[in-house]
């Protein structure tokens, strides 16, 4: 059914007034939709930033623990060098009181082994130091990124708080306004409005004719039909999408 029969009797609200009320109601509902969209996205953005901050903090914490482990490992290797030095000294002093060449050579072997141990310790230390430097750089980078994210989060949170407190008031006002407008629309039309709005993806139940086409689905409207819409004597809906059509002058 493309046309709803709405005869104007004396004392009743004219179709034109009904159309105007519907169009006004649509505008108010679109405003409410905008507020909800605005609010609907911000908490998600805040949540994303909170997750990111938490992730960075964990990363920095883990890197610092790894740096601490490397520091301990370096200290261990340094102690290893000290121990080797002590052993070398001990073996060298023992060499001065050996009884034969075989004992001297045997101590020489021990000294050689301890020198190899020292070299190995030094090699490990330089490896650990390179690893540690890379981790320290990663900490510095993550720290800088974290500070950035934290300030982003703070401003987004503030924005959200403001929007929530601001829009609560605005939304209430708009809802009140919608209720007022609804009084000028009969139940049958109002139910149709709500049903169309619910099914329309962008929440538009009432659209204007734009460039000879429906403002909701953009299908062409024949000239005679456009004249009918302009006459404002009947409620006319789009044949394609079912939205209520009004002329852009309304
Ligand atoms: Zn349409």
Distance, CA 149 to ligand 1 centroid (Å)? 45
- Tens-place pLDDT, residues 78-133: 999 999 999 999 999 999 999 999 999 999 999 999 999 999 999 999 999 999 99
Residue 25: other Cβ atoms inside 10 A: 24
- Tens-place pLDDT, residues 39-74: 888 888 999 999 999 999 999 999 999 999 999 999
Query: What is d(CA 164, CA 247) in angstroms, rounded to the nearest whole number?
Result: 35
Where in the chain are the domains?
3-39+186-246, 42-167
Count Cβ atoms within 10 A of the Cβ of residue 144 and give its class: 0-12 exposed, 13-18 middle, 19 or more buried: exposed
pLDDT at 193: 96
pLDDT at 6: 44
Query: What is d(CA 48, CA 54) in angstroms, rounded to the nearest whole number?
Result: 10
List, in order, residues 6 or more apart from 191 with CB less than 8 Å away. none
Distance, CA 13 to ligand 1 centroid (Å)? 26
Q: pTM of this prediction?
A: 0.56
Distance, CA 218 to ligand 1 centroid (Å)? 6
Distance, CA 203 to ligand 1 centroid (Å)? 13
Residue 23 near residue 141 (C-beta atoms within 8 A): no
pLDDT at 50: 97
Distance, CA 193 to ligand 1 centroid (Å)? 14
Q: What is the dihedral of CA 185, 200, 165, 169, to 10 degrees?
A: -10
Residue 148 near residue 16 (C-beta atoms within 8 A): no
Distance, CA 247 to ligand 1 centroid (Å)? 13
pLDDT at 179: 96
**What are 213's two structure tokens?**
């086409």
pLDDT at 125: 98
Q: Which residues have beta carbons under 5 A from ligand 1 (an ion)?
A: 214, 216-217, 238, 240-241
Q: In the chain, where do the E strands start and end? A: 3-4, 206-210, 213-214, 235-237, 244-246
Please choose, from the candidates 94, 96, 150, 89, the residue with its C-alpha nearest in 3D space to the C-alpha of residue 118.
89
- pLDDT of residue 231 exceeding 60, the answer is yes
Distance, CA 9 to ligand 1 centroid (Å)? 29
- Tens-place pLDDT, residues 154-213: 999 998 898 888 888 889 999 999 999 999 899 999 999 999 999 988 899 999 999 999
Give the architecture (CATH level 2) of 3-39+186-246.
Orthogonal Bundle (1.10)
Distance, CA 205 to ligand 1 centroid (Å)? 10
Domain 42-167 classification at class level: mainly alpha
- Tens-place pLDDT, residues 131-140: 999 999 999 9
Q: Answer with the residue of higher pLDDT: 37 or 234.
A: 234
Residue 113: other Cβ atoms inside 10 A: 14
Radius of gyration of the chain (CA): 41
pLDDT at 3: 47
**What are 36's two structure tokens?**
């909800």
Distance, CA 169 to ligand 1 centroid (Å)? 33
Query: Long-range contact list for 39-47, CB < 8 A, 24+ apart?
Result: 39/160, 39/163, 39/164, 39/167, 42/156, 42/159, 42/160, 42/163, 43/160, 45/156, 46/153, 46/156, 46/157, 46/160
| pLDDT confidence tier of residue 250, bands split at 50, 70 and 90 | confident
List, in order, residues 6 or more apart from 62 with CB less than 8 Å away. none
């Amino acid at each position: 059914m493309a046309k709803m029969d709405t005869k104007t009797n004396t004392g009743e609200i004219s179709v034109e007034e009904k159309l105007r009320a519907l169009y006004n109601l649509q505008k108010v509902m679109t405003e409410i939709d905008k507020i909800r969209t605005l609010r609907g996205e911000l908490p998600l953005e805040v949540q994303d930033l909170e997750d990111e901050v938490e992730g960075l903090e964990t990363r920095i914490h883990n890197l610092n623990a790894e740096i601490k482990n490397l520091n301990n490992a370096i200290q261990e290797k340094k102690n290893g060098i000290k121990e080797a030095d002590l052993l070398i000294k001990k073996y060298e002093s023992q060499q001065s009181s050996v009884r034969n060449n075989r004992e001297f050579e045997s101590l020489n072997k021990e000294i050689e082994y301890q020198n190899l141990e020292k070299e190995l310790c030094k090699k490990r230390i330089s490896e650990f130091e390179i690893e540690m430097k890379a981790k320290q750089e990663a900490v510095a980078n993550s720290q800088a990124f974290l500070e950035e994210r934290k300030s982003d989060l703070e401003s987004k949170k503030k924005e959200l708080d403001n929007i929530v407190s601001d829009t609560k008031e605005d939304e209430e006002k708009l809802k009140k306004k919608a209720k007022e407008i609804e009084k000028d629309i009969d139940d049958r039309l109002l139910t149709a409005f709500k049903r169309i709005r619910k099914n329309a993806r962008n929440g538009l139940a009432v659209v204007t004719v734009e460039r000879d086409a429906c403002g909701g689905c953009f299908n062409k409207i024949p000239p005679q039909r456009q004249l009918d819409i302009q006459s404002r004597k009947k409620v006319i809906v789009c044949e394609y999408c079912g939205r209520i059509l009004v002329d852009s002058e309304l």
